[in-house]
């Protein structure tokens, strides 16, 4: 393996190039890509050309770089996330129709809710959950629903490291929120991200009763049809859970988050 | 750049590892991954460990390898495909509801239709189009609709290399099919992939009138509501086209396919 003077490998540098794109940015000038990846321009250019030769990146005439269709294809045709999504989408469409709301699906990754699917409806409330976007657990109802379903030792670890002075949310309040969410079978957060909306989310459990995803809607603050929303979400979540294959043991994993991402197989 | 005895670079080998997963396979034993990537087991293991350290792959306890959530996230949050998908999904939901059919969205990549989105409906006809799956142009209505909208020189190049003796489809018949599809504003193929279904697809054109995608449905062979299906699809396709941003020039590109994939920005 070739290591640079700073000790990083080619693999590290390839990953830095791919990870250099800020969320939602489709095109990045090569010079900015190099700066963000903390690589010399010539190194970045060489890596981009090599990745472009395989169709994983595309290098435009103006020197801008974007992800190639081939990379999208390779990742999506073999993604565990896609299997979860395929199971969930028909039920998400049902919610979308029956409740006339945006509906989203999230998994836990580290201490974030990572949104893996969203169906929108024209005219429904603003939903900040972008596909492949993240929100910290404590500011999203999906995050709370996901964390409330984790084993006690994971919740304890989460609460131990929790720190968000800007929100004035004490770990003790967060602990209460998680306990209530687990008891009620749904999580509800008002106005943390967008002051005019509620987020409501329920856990999706696989046949082994592990919480593997959260199904949620975002509704206007004045919409108080909670009693109708929650059972509909819970019904859809049970339908999704039944579709999930449980044939595979969770990964022992090599990274700290694998016990979470391996759970939704 | 470190090159092995066979002259391939680390980047080449990383790409071979990622591309080694057959379509739809979520878990691959490390030994099979090494064989498919044509790498010594120790090399494959080292690359997998390095990629796993960044969360791009996950290495299970039993020695099986899968794609990491982080890789899915990085690729999807910055994908041009996602921008097309975001524009299309609300209109695809409309079709799904109004026609009560599976609906799919494809882009042209090389001489294949690459399916970037699909919405299913329980009880509708079998739709073989998997997300991130491919079909050769000549066996899918989406492929015909896409190719019929390409510049004459691209169509000529396609017809020149076309060869599929098993199907007994002469290039001249294919040329007629493309011409008719362009004239009619939709493509229709019966029974090529699945003998009990029709595929019907219409082009999605961006504001510059370039064909950037195809919107299609798969219906049972006995369903002859063509006169209702085609205008609904065309209406939805125009709606999608209006949403597409045309602010960016197509890439000059470094690969042979970039003129296609760059078009749907």
Q: What is the 8-class DSSP label of residue B9?
A: B
Q: What is the largest CA-CA distance in chain A?
A: 61
Give the residue on B whose Cα is nearest the Cα of A97.
B97
Q: Which two tokens stand for residue A226?
A: 């909670």
Domain ranges of chain B: 10-71, 79-264
- Does residue A217 sit in helix, strand or coil? strand
- Asked if A54 lies within 8 A of B24 by C-beta distance, the reply is no
- Does residue B215 sit in helix, strand or coil? strand
Residue count of chain B, please give it: 265
ipTM strictly over 0.95? no
Question: Please, what is the Cα angle at A229 between A225 and A232, to 5 degrees?
Answer: 150
How far apart are alpha carbons A135 and A129 in whole angstroms? 8
- Report the DSSP beta bridge partners of residue A83: none
Give the residue on A whose Cα is nearest the Cα of B67.
A79
What confidence tens digit (pLDDT) does each residue in A72-101 have? Answer: 888 888 877 877 887 898 888 888 878 877
Q: What is the 8-class DSSP label of residue B107?
A: E
CATH class of A79-264: alpha beta
Q: Which two tokens stand for residue A102?
A: 């945006």
Q: Which residues of B touch A67 (CB under 8 A)?
A: 75, 78-80
A47 in reach of chain B (CB within 8 A): yes
> Which of A13, A18, A75 to mutate: most B Cβ within 10 Å?
A75
How far apart are alpha carbons B18 and B26 in whole angstroms? 12
| Integer angstrom CA distances of residue A233 from A105, A181, A218 | 11, 14, 12
CATH topology of domain A10-74: Arc Repressor Mutant, subunit A (1.10.10)
Q: String of b and e for A14-36 (b: at least 16 CB within 10 Å)?
A: bbbbbbbbeeeebbbebebbbeb
CATH number for the segment(s) B10-71: 1.10.10.10
What is the pLDDT tens value at each position of chain B, 265 positions in all? 455 555 678 899 999 999 999 887 888 999 999 999 999 999 999 999 999 999 899 988 788 999 988 888 888 888 778 778 878 988 888 888 788 778 899 999 989 999 988 877 655 555 555 677 888 999 899 999 999 999 999 999 999 998 877 766 788 889 999 999 999 999 988 766 667 788 899 999 988 899 999 999 888 776 666 767 888 899 999 999 988 864 443 333 333 332 333 333 2
pTM: 0.72
B119 in reach of chain A (CB within 8 A): yes
- Asked if B258 lies within 8 A of A58 by C-beta distance, the reply is yes
B98 in reach of chain A (CB within 8 A): no
Q: Which residues of B touch A1 (CB under 8 A)?
A: 2, 10, 46, 50
């Amino acid at each position: 393996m070739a290591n640079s003077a700073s000790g990083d490998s080619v693999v590290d540098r390839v990953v830095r190039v791919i990870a250099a794109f800020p969320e939602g940015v489709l095109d990045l000038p090569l010079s900015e890509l190099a700066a963000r990846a903390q690589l010399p321009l010539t190194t970045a250019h060489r890596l981009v050309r090599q990745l472009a030769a395989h169709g994983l990146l595309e290098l435009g005439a103006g020197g801008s770089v974007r992800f190639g269709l081939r990379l999208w294809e390779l990742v999506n045709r073999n993604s565990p996330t896609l299997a979860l999504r395929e199971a969930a989408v028909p039920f998400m469409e049902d919610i979308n129709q029956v409740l006339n709301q945006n509906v989203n699906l999230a998994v836990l990754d580290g201490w974030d809710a990572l949104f893996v699917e969203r169906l929108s409806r024209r005219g429904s409330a603003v939903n900040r959950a972008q596909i492949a976007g993240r929100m910290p657990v404590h500011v999203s109802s999906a995050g709370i629903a996901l964390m409330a379903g984790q084993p006690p030792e994971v919740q304890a670890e989460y609460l131990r490291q929790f720190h968000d002075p800007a929100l004035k949310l004490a770990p003790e309040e967060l602990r209460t929120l998680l306990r209530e969410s687990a008891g009620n079978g749904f999580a509800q957060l008002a106005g943390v991200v967008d002051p005019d909306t509620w987020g409501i989310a329920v856990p999706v459990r696989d046949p082994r009763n592990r919480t593997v995803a959260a199904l949620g809607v975002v509704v206007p603050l004045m919409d108080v049809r909670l009693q109708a929303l929650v059972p509909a979400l819970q019904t859809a979540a049970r339908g999704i859970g039944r579709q999930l294959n449980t044939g595979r043991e969770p990964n022992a994993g090599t990274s700290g988050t694998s016990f979470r991402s391996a759970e939704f197989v």
